[in-house]
């Protein structure tokens, strides 16, 4: 057991990582139902929040049903980050997280994300600004360093705790690695043993299966594991990890029918959050993960790309594979009921363009 602020977590909790275009409300709610112990929003531009950009404010949508939930922000301008934190307070998250780890060029070129790893004093200044402005516990997600020649994670970890951060998540790669090569879990063990931290340490990187998640706990001593790419198209990873921990066996992968049920729910929630047309289009990037390994998956994805209305996509999903003896076709009534019943709860903060009042 450990705590972040006043929030208590069970032993060996597994968190959903913040992922652009993935960790939105529809996917987070599904992951929560399937056992994720904490959720993070997509990363949100501090500049966008400071200037009231609609797309940035929309990402502040969080729901009581998904708690505990962290809102993650990024940016290299100290005053913008400070102002963004004040905006985040209005959404009433459980945690405010700072992204010091995104390796994407358009983010790092302005000292956002992992770009700040080239300027540790400024990293401390940004962290202090968020801690000062936040009404909630502040955490950080970062990487080992900019490159192999500049790994200073032990010093950085100590500095972040001294500045007021209440938990630290580390992706065990450098920025120069991007997502290539193996995550260097040995560094997570070194942080745990050598940095002298009293705050929780969250491990991230290559935790892509129940076996790998448990191995990260065993090999590194982290307090929690954050799952990113391993959850894309596979929200069952949180449930399966807990079953594996209890039984020593990984459950069989979800049946075709179970996958279709979750896809229908995900699609319906996407369309409610974004509107039908945008929801259908945005959902397209998720099908590859959901149907990976199933016979005919490539053909199914191609057919889905031709549909632009939610009913047409559902009709295709319900009837696809009918002549394939290896694919069980689920009950159309049950799947449609899943889609119809999928509704977003009331957000904790009303957007300017939303008719819903703040509860």
**Which of 31, 102, 109, 271 is labelled catalytic?**
102
Residue 326 predicted with pLDDT over 70: no
Mean pLDDT over all residues of the chain? 91
Q: Which residue has the higher pLDDT, 90 or 352?
A: 90
pLDDT value at residue 359 = 40
Residue 103 predicted with pLDDT over 90: yes
pLDDT value at residue 201 = 98
On whether the CB atoms of residues 201 and 170 are closer than 8 A, the answer is yes
Contacts of 106 (CB under 8 A, 6+ apart): none
Known catalytic residue at 102: yes
Query: pLDDT tens-digit profile of 288-304?
Result: 999 988 888 888 888 99
On whether the CB atoms of residues 34 and 235 are closer than 8 A, the answer is yes
Assign 336 a pLDDT band (cuts: 50, 70, 90): low
Q: Which residue has the higher pLDDT, 342 or 26?
A: 26
Q: What is the pTM of this model?
A: 0.92
User: How distant, in Å, are the alpha carbons of 28, 77, 98, 132 from that of 45?
Assistant: 19, 11, 11, 19
Query: pLDDT tens-digit profile of 258-278?
Result: 888 899 999 999 999 999 999
256-341: CATH number: 1.10.1200.80
pLDDT value at residue 331 = 52
Q: State the CATH class of domain 10-247.
A: alpha beta
On whether the CB atoms of residues 25 and 53 are closer than 8 A, the answer is no
Residue 7 predicted with pLDDT over 90: yes
| Over residues 201-224, mean pLDDT | 98
Helix axes 332-341, 310-319, angle to 10 degrees: 150
Q: Where do the structural domains in the chain lie, given as residue ranges?
A: 10-247, 256-341
pLDDT value at residue 85 = 98
pLDDT value at residue 322 = 39
């Amino acid at each position: 057991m450990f705590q972040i602020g006043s929030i208590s977590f069970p032993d060996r909790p597994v968190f959903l990582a913040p992922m652009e275009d993935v960790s939105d409300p529809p996917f987070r709610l599904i992951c929560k139902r399937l056992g994720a112990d904490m959720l993070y929003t997509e990363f949100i531009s501090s500049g966008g929040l400071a200037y009231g950009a609609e797309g940035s404010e929309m990402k502040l949508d969080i729901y009581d049903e998904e708690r505990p939930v962290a809102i993650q922000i990024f940016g290299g301008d100290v005053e913008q980050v400070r102002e963004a934190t004040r905006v985040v307070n209005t959404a009433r998250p459980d945690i405010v997280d700072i992204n010091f780890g995104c390796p994407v060029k358009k983010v790092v070129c302005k000292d956002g994300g992992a770009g700040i790893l080239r300027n540790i004093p400024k990293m401390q200044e940004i962290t202090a600004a968020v801690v000062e402005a936040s009404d909630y516990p502040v955490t950080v997600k970062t990487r080992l360093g900019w490159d192999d020649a500049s790994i200073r994670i032990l010093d950085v970890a100590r500095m972040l705790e001294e500045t007021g951060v209440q938990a630290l998540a580390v992706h065990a790669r450098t920025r120069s690695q991007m997502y290539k090569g193996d995550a260097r879990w040995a560094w997570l063990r070194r942080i745990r043993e050598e940095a002298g931290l009293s705050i929780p340490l969250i491990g991230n990187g290559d935790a892509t299966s129940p076996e790998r998640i448990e191995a990260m706990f065993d090999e590194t001593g982290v307090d929690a594991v954050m799952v990113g790419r391993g959850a894309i198209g596979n929200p069952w990873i949180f449930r399966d990890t807990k079953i594996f921990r209890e039984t020593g066996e990984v459950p069989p992968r979800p049946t075709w029918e179970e996958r279709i049920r979750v896809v229908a729910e995900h699609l319906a929630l996407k369309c409610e959050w974004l509107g039908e047309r945008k929801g259908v289009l945005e959902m397209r990037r998720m099908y590859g993960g959901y149907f990976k390994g199933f016979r005919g998956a490539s053909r199914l994805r191609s057919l889905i790309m031709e549909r632009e209305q939610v009913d047409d996509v559902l009709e295709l999903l319900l009837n696809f594979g009918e002549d394939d003896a290896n694919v069980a076709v689920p009950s159309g009534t049950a799947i449609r009921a899943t889609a119809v019943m999928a509704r977003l709860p009331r957000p904790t903060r009303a957007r300017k363009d939303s008719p819903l009042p703040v509860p």
